[in-house]
Amino acid sequence: MSTLEKIDLNNTPEHIAIIMDGNGRWAKQQGEKRLFGHNTGVESVREALKAAQKSNVKYLTLYAFSTENWNRPKEEVEGLMNLLVHTISNEVDELNKSNVRITTIGDLDGLPGNCKDEMVNAFERTKTNTGVNLVLALNYSSKWEILETVKSIANQVKEGTLDTDSINDEYFSNSLSTKGIPDPELLIRTSGEHRISNFLLWQIAYSELYFTEVLWPDFKEEDLYEAVLNYQSRERRFGMVSEQIEKNL
């Protein structure tokens, strides 16, 4: 029985978020430059997307470039931006054919012009698609997103269009860049690192966390199925006790 067959397709996470990590270490192991690892990582994005499509996942959010990643050597940052532009322009036809809808979270205005244009084009071309939503976190950091939201909410209060009593969990969630996207039930991080690195801090309040030693360029369809199977073996209690959860079944 394949791992996919073992998955209960009626109980797959609606949203999986992935911190794609380990490209540099993978390249080093091969005696190659870091950019070779990033290039190879594109194949793993295809694998993860294919697995999401086959296992009923509706939203796949990929952490592709963090606000902190600007601090990397200039050559690597430029290489990553070029890779982004080329990958999106090469893949957008295929993604469109397979009904994938591309969106982004993060500060697009802070990206080089050609990157932003490519993303906006991909977004426009795929916006009516109804298959998997591929959400690319680009120039993203959760603290940035939360601060932007706080500023916008504070301005609404100042202008008198919002009453402070109306600021609740739902209002805050709908003011984030992930508005309309359900919170991820499952967050995966590759490469054996056990940290969140400024990713979706609000949205993962109750996510199941899954860490794997696999380096991102080695990540295959099968690895996503393993993560989903592991997720399905867990009990999500949301502050309650086991007996209450069992009664609801």
Catalytic residue at 169?
A: no
Q: Shortest Cβ distance from residue 23 to ligand IPE (Å)?
A: 4
| CB nearer ligand IPE, residue 7 or residue 52 | 52
Per CB under 6 A, contacts with ligand IPE among 192-211 are 193, 195, 197
* Catalytic choice (56, 69, 96, 121): 69
Give the contact letters, 22-61, x = binds to ligand IPE (CB under 6 A), - = no.
Answer: xxxx------------------------------------
Catalogue the E-assigned strands of 117-185: 133-140
List the x/- string, 1-30, binding to Mg ion by CB under 5 A.
--------------------x---------
Measured from the CB atom, the residue of 13 and 106 that comes closer to ligand IPE is 106
Give the SS3 label for residue 239: coil
Per CB under 5 A, 118 contacts Mg ion: no
Q: Which stretch binds ligand IPE (CB under 6 A): 143-151, 188-196, 202-210, 234-242?
A: 188-196
DSSP summary character for residue 184: P
CB of 142 to ligand IPE, least distance (A): 11
- The residue among 44 and 126 lying less far from Mg ion, judged by its C-beta, is 44
- Is residue 21 part of the annotated active site? The answer reads yes
Residues 6+ apart with CB under 8 A from 31: none
Q: What's the rounded Cα separation, in Å, for the pair 141 and 159? A: 27
Q: What DSSP letter does each residue of 131-146 carry, written as one string?
A: S-EEEEEEEE-HHHHH
Which region among 1-9, 102-110, 127-135, 191-199 touches ligand IPE (by CB under 6 A)?
Answer: 191-199
Report the alpha-carbon distance of residue 107 to residue 116 in Å, rounded. Answer: 10
Contact between 66 and 140 under an 8 Å Cβ cutoff? The reply is yes
When CB distances to ligand IPE are compared, the closest residue is 24
* Nearest-angstrom CA–CA distance, 84 and 39: 10
Q: Reduced to 3 states, what is the DSSP secondary structure of residue 21?
A: coil
Q: How far apart are CA 80 and CA 33, in angstroms?
A: 13
Per CB under 5 A, does 223 bind Mg ion? no
User: Distance from CA of residue 72 to its chain's centroid?
Assistant: 21
- Do the beta carbons of residue 146 and residue 201 sit within 8 Å? yes
- The nearest distance, CB 22 to ligand IPE, in angstroms, is 4
* Residue 69 within binding range of ligand IPE, rule CB under 6 A: yes
Structure tokens belonging to residue 53? 């499509």
The SS3 of residue 38 is: helix
Contacts with Mg ion, residue ranges (CB under 5 A): 21
Contacts with ligand IPE, residue ranges (CB under 6 A): 19-25, 63-66, 69, 80, 191, 193, 195, 197, 216
Catalogue the active-site residues. 21, 69
